[in-house]
Amino acid sequence: MKLLELVPYLTHPQKLSELYRQRGIDQEAESLSIYMQDVISLDSDIRLFTDEEVDGEAHVTVDGIYYKEMLPVEIALDLIETDTSLQHPNVTDLARAERIIEYSLYDA
């Protein structure tokens, strides 16, 4: 899954719960973060990890694949809900994904 594929779930939190169920992710976990494979980029594959799965580490290797923490899911949700530049009806999922990456690189 790429970040662009995750954005529709982030813009509709009820869909996010369904994604968690489909992927067997513990919805009661205290913290869930978005990790990107290799580098933070729109082209990178993502994976969601709980803090317990990665011991709170920002860089992890799982099954031989290197991941770098991009942003906690909760912060990505908050950004989409509160960033006024993302509130316009004509804002695309691509623009939202780019803003999330920008925020994770420069503001987080």
Secondary structure letter of residue 2 according to DSSP: B
Q: Count other Cβ atoms within 10 Å, centred on residue 13.
A: 12
> What is the pLDDT, as a whole number, of residue 13?
78
Identify the domain containing residue 58 by its residue range.
3-106
Residue 42 corresponds to which tokens in the numbers above? 């729109």
| Count of structural domains, the chain | 1
Residue 98 corresponds to which tokens in the numbers above? 């780019």
CA distance 28 to 49: 13
Write the pLDDT tens digit of every residue in 35-76.
999 999 999 999 999 988 898 899 999 999 999 999 999 999
Write the pLDDT tens digit of every residue in 1-43.
999 999 999 998 789 888 988 988 887 777 899 999 999 999 9
Asked if 43 contacts 97 with a C-beta cutoff of 8 angstroms, the reply is no
Secondary structure letter of residue 27 according to DSSP: T
Residue 92 corresponds to which tokens in the numbers above? 């695309």
Task: Grade residue 94 by pLDDT with cuts at 50, 70 and 90.
Answer: very high
Task: Grade residue 108 by pLDDT with cuts at 50, 70 and 90.
Answer: low
